Structure 1
Amino acid sequence: MRESHIITIAGAGSARVPALVGTLVNYKERFPLSKIIFYDIDNERMGLMEDYDRLVLKCFYPECEVVFTTDEDEAYRETDFVFCQMRVGKTAMRSLDEKIPLRYGLVGQETCGPGGFAYGMRSLGAMKHMVEKVRSYSKDTWILNYTNPAAIVALGLDKMFPEDRRILNLCDQPFSLMKSYAKILGVPQEKLRARYFGLNHFGWFTELKDTDGNDHFDTLRTYLRDHDFQPFNAEQRSKSWLDTYVRVNKYMKFIDEYIPTTYLQYYMFPEEIAAESDPAYTRADESRDSREKEVFEVCAKAKGRDSMEGLEMLTNSVFGNLMVEVAESIAYDLNREFIVLVRNDGIIGNFEPDAIVEVAGTIGKDGAKGYPFGDISPYYKGLMEGQYAYELLTVEAFLEQDYTKALKALILNRSVVDPSKAKAVLDDLMEANRDYWTLK
């Protein structure tokens, strides 16, 4: 029997949490828990799912103690892992992140472009506070951060806590893509091994082999160049999500040597995407009216029940599996392969050493380690240098409350470029976010 652990779920008001609970149940033999602490500053929202979460754990994990709290000291005082997934400002601010840029014909997206900038500025303040609070109790607690936008948050945390080796930033997009590739190829995901480089939401797969030594990269590259890309769970995805996969095919009609992450669409086709977007109804609204609504409806059925009979068991084979498998790999020093976010330090030989790059690597008791990649060619280096400059200036704008650096960041962003639009959208975002961040 493996040693059991205590975890804190920070941001337990997220609609993803009930599915994470289901994953924790499914992994109870691999990653056993003695206690789960659910923490959120919004007790009302967390309460919408509490009955369901408690019922699932009572029925399938009775040996695990369960605590729900809005007290951050209780949440962080004694825990081995913090599973962090904050959405600072909740859906209301996400909606503004997406809608304000569209006023100026700019991409309205929660992690990319001006919306990602605004969300990143909010996330950095909350994450700084959380890390300081956790560290006031323990230097050994692992912080597994899933808070977006991961690129900005990871770089900001590295600048603020450069010696802290127990903060691990995560993104499920490469994990999800590998799952989709496995379905296309008819190969089990656990057998696939990738070579990959980039920045978060800004990267490329360059190799894909299986553990038997078979090379699948050319087969997959040809397929994605010549066919519309469908995710493994296409039947569960909304149209806007399916559109992001289709544009992989469009990009590869131009350049097909590597396979891009789906988020590159926002930087390659920003005007087209902005023109297609409905400024009155964005993905925040879509998520609220579909996934969140469905989760809350399932959870509401748990009220007053003593059994799960006739009640759906929610799980998440991407977000939930990734977070639990990462924790398992750390806890038992498994050194399993993942796509990881790490400080470059020569991993990509001709790129900024202080950048947080996204590459294939392993995770074990000492955290994430990226595999050496080598040098990258001028096209990819140029794209990444521009994006990294945007990320760095955003972090510096937050730390120094510097308006000019924020403006420079947005001008550098491929989804903006135009200085007049950059200033207009920055001023609007600053006004909308005045309760979360300020610039001088």
Structure 2
Amino acid sequence: MKKFSILIAGGGSTFTPGIVLMLLDNLYKFPIRKIKFYDNDKERQDVIAKACEILLKEKAPEIEFLATVDPEEAFTDVDFVMAHIRVGKYAMRELDEKIPLKHGVVGQETCGPGGIAYGMRSIGGILEIAGYMEKYSPDAWMLNYSNPAAIVAEATRKLIPNTKILNICDMPIGIEGHMAQIAGLESRKDMIVKYYGLNHFGWWSSITDKAGNDLMPKIKAHVKKYGYDTKVEDENQHTDPTWSDTFRKARDIYEIDPTTLPNTYLKYYLFPDYVVEHSDKNYTRANEVMDGREKHVFGECRKIYKAGKSEGSTLEIDEHASYIVDLARAISYNTQERMLLIVENNGAIENFDKTAMVEIPCLVGSNGPTALTIGTIPEFQKGLMGQQVSVEKLVVEAWAEKSYQKLWQAISLSKTVPSVKVAKEILDDLIKENTEYWPKLK
């Protein structure tokens, strides 16, 4: 059986150890000969890499390991690039959240002006990585789960349409874990879902078990009372207080359309006033992460390196990330697995923009994804999605054309922003902080 060479782009990420442990846990179905890390921050990557090298020696010494900041060394001889980069790291995420909040607007890393700012930084980074992959391993596939996935996906569609990139997000997977528990199932994989929308902006229209039994009534009854709030085993990523509130708030989002079940992120667009009111302008989600996961992961990695062994470590397998193996297997073995991916609409949603990057179920095989037909969607969802797609398209156009005007339009069009005036004030503040990362706008 062929063994694969994997490159993790964003080797210094706090998610990298969990992903490595997940890959090791799945070697029986996705064998690996080589794991490489690539990052442009050597110091940060080294801490993670030294610990991961020990983990690999203990659990799978036959796997070759390399951590590098050299693109040629990193991208040569790889089958899959698993990309989770954060341009500007958490320091810039903190500004993405705090600048809009200063103006009384939602401050969130992927939604509203913060997501737009992050998108403007991410586009260049993803295009650079895609360019290295095409140059050094032209047959490789990039599995991209870098945020903000919607803007990044639109950028890859528009600017590098022939590159082998699959854009995917773990948020629906996380919510489906909660749904499975509500429905009394062992795993989300015991469900067959119909879902449509954009990344961080969608709805489940049907959920059945493998026998075809309708699970929607049971899940809806729970959501109506509690949202998606329930204790899920191995749920390490989304347990901070802000996440608990996000899962609970789904009950209010549900009320506007009880025929569907909503993605939790819709709270930022449908309840922006509530979100701002319940936000701490001085201590945002970025601060939670820096004081929580960031300190924990880097602290654990340093301990492993110092001890020379992982015994007693509290680093955990990122179960959430197992969809990455499913995706790589689907391509490698033509499994035709059904997965939610962000793909060009191209008629899958009949009454929606053909060029929009939508998040819908696809069958994935050796040639990539084949989108499943959704049919027509209701006017309410279509209207919301149309507005948000225009935001994403304008951001990519603003980046490509270095257009201040188009970025101002994008922020003004976001449902989280109350007026063109406020949009301009936020944009001008964001420009000051992003000079190192954004194209110079004119």
Partner deviation per Cα, 1:98-145 (whole Å, 9 max, x = no partner): 110011000000000000000000000111111112111233110111
Gaps of 5+ in 1: none
TM-score normalized by the length of structure 1: 0.97
Secondary structure at the residue paired with 1:83?
Answer: strand
1:407-422 equivalence runs, <5 A = 407-422=408-423
* CA–CA distance in structure 1, aligned partners of residues 256 and 368 of structure 2: 37
The aligned residue for residue 379 of structure 2 is 378
The aligned residue for residue 365 of structure 2 is 364
Write out the 4+ residue segments of structure 1 that deviate beyond 6 Å after TM superposition.
none
The aligned residue for residue 310 of structure 1 is 312
* Cα drift, residue 401 of structure 1: 0.7
Answer yes or no: is 1:271 the counterpart of 2:269.
no
Does the C-alpha gap of structure 1 residues 289 and 313 become closer, same or farther in structure 2, counting only changes over 3 Å? closer
Secondary structure at the residue paired with 1:36?
Answer: strand
Answer yes or no: is 1:185 the counterpart of 2:159.
no
1:16-415 equivalence runs, <5 A = 16-164=15-163, 166-188=164-186, 189-231=188-230, 232-233=232-233, 237-318=239-320, 320-415=321-416
| Amino acid of the structure 1 residue aligned with 2:57 | K
* Cα drift, residue 304 of structure 1: 4.0
On the 8 A contact 1:410/1:417 being kept in 2, the answer is: no
TM-score normalized by the length of structure 2: 0.96
On the 8 A contact 1:55/1:305 being kept in 2, the answer is: no
Does the C-alpha gap of structure 1 residues 313 and 121 become closer, same or farther in structure 2, counting only changes over 3 Å? closer
Worse-superposed segment, 323-332 or 111-120? 323-332
| Amino acid of the structure 2 residue aligned with 1:381 | K
| Amino acid of the structure 2 residue aligned with 1:299 | C
On the 8 A contact 2:182/2:218 being kept in 1, the answer is: no
Partner deviation per Cα, 1:145-164 (whole Å, 9 max, x = no partner): 11110000001111011223
| Amino acid of the structure 1 residue aligned with 2:23 | L
| Amino acid of the structure 2 residue aligned with 1:222 | A
| Amino acid of the structure 2 residue aligned with 1:400 | E
* Cα drift, residue 77 of structure 1: 1.8
Partner deviation per Cα, 1:292-325 (whole Å, 9 max, x = no partner): 111122212212445433334521111x212122
The aligned residue for residue 434 of structure 2 is 433
On the 8 A contact 1:340/1:362 being kept in 2, the answer is: no
Secondary structure at the residue paired with 2:417?
Answer: coil
Partner deviation per Cα, 1:152-203 (whole Å, 9 max, x = no partner): 0001111011223x21011001111111111111113221110010011110
* Identity across the alignment (%): 39
Secondary structure at the residue paired with 1:390?
Answer: helix
Secondary structure at the residue paired with 2:13?
Answer: coil
Secondary structure at the residue paired with 1:31?
Answer: coil
Q: How many residues are paired up?
A: 437
